[in-house]
Amino acid sequence: MLASARERLPAEGAGGRRYRGHVSPVARRPDVLIAELRDVLTGPLAEIAQRFSTWVDDLAPHSAMVIFTRECTGRPRKVAGDPSIVDRVTIAELDRVRNELAAGEIRRDGFRLAGRDREVCAILDSTDTLLVFVPRGTRATSAALDLVRAAFGVVATGIRLQVHTASPAYLAESRAASAERARTVAELTESHAVTLETILATLRSKDLDDTRARTTARETATEALIGLRSAVDLHRELAEEALTTAFARLHGELRDLVRHRSLDLQMVAPPVGGRGLPGEVAHAARAIARGAVLAMSGQADVTRVRVAWTCDDSTLLVDVRDDGNGEIDVVELGRQLRDRVETLGGGIESESTPGWGTRIAVSFPLDLPIAATDGPALDALAALAPREIEVLEHLVAGRRNRVIAERLGVSESTVKFHVAGVLRKLGVSTRGEAAALGAEAGVRAAG
C-alpha cells in the first residue's frame, strides 16, 4: 500500500506556521489560506513540492507529487511523497504527460509514471509548469481541483520569478544539481552502452544459427541504444542553453524593459555556434545584464546602452556600458550584482568615468571549479555514485559480496559490478585497498 504523503512531510511550513491537517482548505478562511500559501513560497526551492504537497493533501489526498518545470536547469523535478514513485519518475515520462495537456487543463487519467501505468491527476499551468500527483483514498471534487489549480498557478509563478531573478541560493543549488546530474548521466551512459554493445556483439556472432532471433534481438538492442542516447540528449537540453538562444531571450527581455524609454539599446550578439551555456550561467548572465541596464537607463543623461556577450570554450564575458556622464554609483551597483557572480565562481569589474560613461564587465566560468578537498582520498571518492558509496561502506565493514547483496537487496552479480566500479574509480586493485582508502576519507562501516 502506498504511504501517505503527509506521513513524510514536515508539520510546519518554512515560515513556522503549522498547516491545519484536520481542516480542509476549502473550509478555511481566505486570509488563512493565502497566509499558508505564502509559507509554501518561502524556503528552499528544492523543497517547494514538499511544502505544496502538505498544503494540498487535505484538499486532494495523494501519495506522491511531482512539479516539473524546464525553468529549473538543475532540478527540473520537485518531488514529495512515496519514494517508490518520486525517485523513479523520469523526465521523459513527465514530458509526455505535459505534451498531452493544454495550458490550464486538469486531467484525471492513466499515465505512465515511475515505470508503470497509474491513475494520476495532472495540471498544466500557463507558465508551462506541470503538476502531477497520485490520488489516495477519497476522490477530490471538481471544486477542490479548481482551488488546487489556482494555488498551483501562484506556486508556478513563484518558481519562475526565483529562477529569473537568479538569486545566489538558486544558482548554487542549480550548479550543484547540474554537476550531480551530469555525473549520473555519464555513469548511466557508460553502464548501459557497455551492456547493450555486448549484447549486439554476442548476437552478431557466427556461432548463432537462429537468424530470426538474432535479427529481432539486434533490433531491440539498437532501439534501446537510440532511446538511451535520446534520454541523454534530453538531460543535456535541460542542463544547457545554446549561446545564441540565451542571448535572444535576453534581447527580448531588455526590449520589454526599455520599451517606454527613449533609449538606443545596442545588442552585440555572440558568434553562432560554440559550446552551450550551463543553465545556471545563462540565467545569471541575463539577470546581471537586466540589472545593469535597468540601473544605467535610470540616469537622465543616458541615451545609449550597449550589451555584448562573447564566449570561448571556458568563459562567458558579459559587457554592459552606457554613454552617460559617469555619475552612477558603481560601488553600490557592483554590490548588488556581486553575489550572483561570485556564487558561480565569476568575477566582476565596474568603472565610471566622468564624461565617458559607465561600464560593467562580468566573466562566468562555464565549467565547475575543482573543489578543494582534504586529501587524495576525498578527491577519489567524489567520482563514486551513491550506490557505489553504499557498497564501499560494506567493504569498509569487511563484508563479502554475498552478504552485501543480502543487505542491499540486490543480486550478487550486481554487487560484483559495483565493486569493480569502486576499484576502478578509486584506482586500486583489491577490496582491502578500497576499504582502507574509504576509511581514510571518513567513510563509516555500514551497520
Lowest mean pLDDT segment, chosen from 4-13, 51-60, 418-427: 4-13
- Under 8 Å between Cβ of 401 and 391: no
Q: What are phi and psi of 285, to 5 degrees?
A: -65, -40
Amino acid, res. 197: E
Cell triple for residue 441? 576519507
Q: 269: number of CA atoms within 13 Å, CB side? A: 13
pLDDT of residue 223: 64
Look at 279 and 232; give whichever has higher pLDDT: 279
What's the length of the chain?
447
Parallel/antiparallel/unpaired status of strands 264-268 and 62-68: unpaired
To the question of pTM greater than 0.85 for the whole model, the response is no
Residue 300 to residues 74, 115, 119, 291, 295: CA-CA distances in angstroms? 40, 60, 59, 17, 11
The residues near 312 (Cβ < 8 Å, ≥ 6 apart) are 274
Of the chain, the percentage scoring pLDDT greater than 70 comes to: 71
Three-class DSSP category at 323: coil
Give the C-alpha separation, 31 to 186, whole Å: 48
8-39 CB burial, b ≥16 within 10 A, e <16 = bbeeebbeeeebeeeeebeebeeeebeebbeb
pLDDT in tens, 400-409: 888 888 888 8
Lowest mean pLDDT segment, chosen from 12-21, 23-32, 136-145, 164-173: 12-21
The residues near 35 (Cβ < 8 Å, ≥ 6 apart) are 17
- Under 8 Å between Cβ of 268 and 308: yes
Task: Name the residue among 405, 391, 406 with its Cα closest to residue 446.
Answer: 391
Look at 44 and 144; give whichever has higher pLDDT: 144
187-214 CB burial, b ≥16 within 10 A, e <16 = beeeebeeebeebeeebeeeeeeeeeee
Is the pLDDT confidence value at 369 over 80? Answer: no
pLDDT in tens, 214-231: 666 666 666 666 666 555
